[in-house]
Structure 1
């Protein structure tokens, strides 16, 4: 019998382990192999720990609001007391009392209604905090995503350079065997190939590091492999809205400003609540009760319950006369909170205004740099093409060729960096005007 029970327990344990493994495999397969920017943003908004913690804070605020609304309703309590008494000489007695009581605050200087409005504002603030964190995370993820795109493009052109250098080295060796170039020219090609391979390795390492940074921002499990999708085009040159237009929108709509405005309104309601302490409070209460006592019979006990049934109703008026400075202190503290909230709002608007202006300057400068880099790259590309052709025909000096090649590589790097910098800078500036982040 014991053997059968142990066998069943082992079987259940194995089934449980298999179920957990299947669940983990399912969770792993639910994640995409290749992530585009929108997938990254959606996943982060849903799974980020800090955002979810703020959502829980919002739920707590919702419960506080429900509690504040319920405070204006009357309460109702029931009570029951039963006592049995036994005497050693024999016999005994019993007694009991039962009742219902209620109280209802009719007036307390408007404290309860003001508290409802304040709790509603606090709930709205909690929601704004969630939106603030989502916006911050959006910018971080977008920057990390564009860094990876830059790395990918750098890897591609680094591989092209290695491929080209390898072909040029092979050609140089053939020409050296034919006696048309010196050994030092071959060594120059070998050195350039080694340098290009080093650049390729550095680009691949940078890509791995930036992929890890994105993975950490997404808070993905460590065993998850992450790769990103490369868009068909990266928008680097668009019409930039005016600074005043974007600044006006941001100051009117950004969640950090709304959060500070709600904080000021909440502080003002806190003053109303403190001033309510100077006003009288009016409460109505009612009570129903009955009791019995003794060692009488069951029918007699029922009779006592009927005879002892009582009803009571009363009104209580409480007028604060001397509260040992409690009310005055509460009012002064509430005024300080209002001043602090005003400063917070002013600082939030100032910081946001400066941030938008910085984003505007970066966007304008980034676009100008992108245009200049694109033009320079086209010229360098053509010069490099001509130098390649001259080298192939044996009409170019090796050192002159590498001078043109280095100019081309530098122009290419500047062009790629300028393109993604412009895309990021313009995207961030548009983000402050309410346009969703996109490439």
Structure 2
């Protein structure tokens, strides 16, 4: 191999490696570092493995439908055989030799009538494709709710971090003030120690809230099935307060029972079972098949001429075959009985789906109502505790506050703030889940 050839191969290898690395880097850069809820939902619908699996199930159902449609067409098979026979020297003194022969042909069959089984099978397979599509929509709805809940959990964490950071800053300022007062001899060392302990507790709470956010981000990434990306964060909207009017329960239930994919899928299950019974009953009816074939053969003989034998031995045949089931060892009776059982099971599944959906919508309605009431109470509670805590801070600064009373008010403020944050996002989540049953897309 010449030096020039080696240089060219080396250059091609380096170029391929560089392009591969560039394509991988490009793929990684496609993922944004900060995600909003809409981007999370869209990414999950495109990349979720469970959804991809259901989409493959749909493709499989489509292939089954194509196969059922093709059953209405005639088939065509070709055949060929070639044999060789070697024999030893015969007793009459003739020398041994080799005989050979061959046959070739085409055959076709066409089912003209099968008790309506073929057309019914096409209808059933078409419904199975629709059912697979509704299964995808069901899974998309479930993933949407899971991602929304995980997303809002991160928003709760973000607000918790903000107010914990504020508490740490306040504790640090109070500790510095206490140290100055201790140096001036106006407070005891015990007061300084209490502020030091409170600052340590606030830092611990801040670290805990930061770790909780990291864990919740991992949970969201698992739902999105994102690759390991260190830079991942979510957009914090300006507000997620939800205090609007709540749609009455009967309207939401009526819409959900008529339009939700789980209901549509369960209804298709009943129709598929009904067609299964029709197919089972077709087993009692006769079937009519048209068959046709043609072929030729040849064999070595003393006057061997292959082409003449092909012409002389060429044959064509066609015929009708009527098959009438008389005794099938209970096969048809069992098929019909099992088909009826499938219908009963599918009807039970439909009723159970309707009941479950009605109860879920009612539960969502109650949660939406309660969460709005809790949010209003939490906002009012925070308002008053925030004012009392502000006054306690002022009293502490001028040295007229009792340290025990101050910490009592501080704890009440912290509890009120935590309740407010949790209630705010609970109300937002409950309202959006309830409206989701009405077909409203989830947005923040």
Give the alignment's TM-score, normalised by structure 2. Answer: 0.92
CA distance in 2, matches of 1:130, 1:307: 61
- How far the C-alpha of 1:206 sits from its partner, in A, is 0.8
Corresponding position: 1:107 with 2:101: no
Corresponding position: 1:384 with 2:365: no
In the alignment, which residue of structure 2 is the partner of 1:154? Answer: 160
Q: SS state of the match for residue 75, structure 1?
A: coil
- How far the C-alpha of 1:222 sits from its partner, in A, is 2.7
CA distance in 1, matches of 2:186, 2:52: 70
In the alignment, which residue of structure 2 is the partner of 1:255? Answer: 261
In the alignment, which residue of structure 2 is the partner of 1:27? Answer: 27
Q: SS state of the match for residue 237, structure 2?
A: coil
CA distance in 2, matches of 1:36, 1:95: 76
In the alignment, which residue of structure 1 is the partner of 2:55? Answer: 55
In the alignment, which residue of structure 2 is the partner of 1:433? Answer: 438
Q: Deviations over 1:381-400 (max 9, x none)?
A: 22222222222233322222
In the alignment, which residue of structure 1 is the partner of 2:194? Answer: 188
| Residue 149 (structure 2) aligned to one of 115, 133, 143 | 143
- How far the C-alpha of 1:97 sits from its partner, in A, is 2.6
| Residue 325 (structure 1) aligned to one of 330, 353, 359 | 330
How large is the Cα RMSD of the aligned pairs? Answer: 2.3
Q: Deviations over 1:87-119 (max 9, x none)?
A: 663765553333222111111100001111111
**Is the Cα–Cα contact under 8 Å of residues 28 and 224 in structure 1 kept in the other structure?**
no
**Is the Cα–Cα contact under 8 Å of residues 58 and 127 in structure 1 kept in the other structure?**
yes
- How far the C-alpha of 1:165 sits from its partner, in A, is 0.9
Q: SS state of the match for residue 67, structure 2?
A: helix
Q: Which segments of 5 or more consecutive residues in structure 2 lack a partner in the other structure?
A: 89-94
In the alignment, which residue of structure 1 is the partner of 2:292? Answer: 286
Give the alignment's TM-score, normalised by structure 1. Answer: 0.93
In the alignment, which residue of structure 1 is the partner of 2:133? Answer: 127
In the alignment, which residue of structure 1 is the partner of 2:400? Answer: 395
How do 1:353-432 residues align onto structure 2 when only pairs under 5 Å count?
Answer: 353-432=358-437
**Is the Cα–Cα contact under 8 Å of residues 128 and 258 in structure 1 kept in the other structure?**
yes
CA distance in 1, matches of 2:424, 2:120: 54
Q: Deviations over 1:189-221 (max 9, x none)?
A: 222211111111111111111111111111122
CA distance in 1, matches of 2:54, 2:23: 28
Q: How many residues align?
A: 438
In the alignment, which residue of structure 1 is the partner of 2:78? Answer: 78
- How far the C-alpha of 1:163 sits from its partner, in A, is 0.4
Greater shift in the superposed pair: 74-83 or 4-13: 4-13
**Is the Cα–Cα contact under 8 Å of residues 168 and 189 in structure 1 kept in the other structure?**
yes
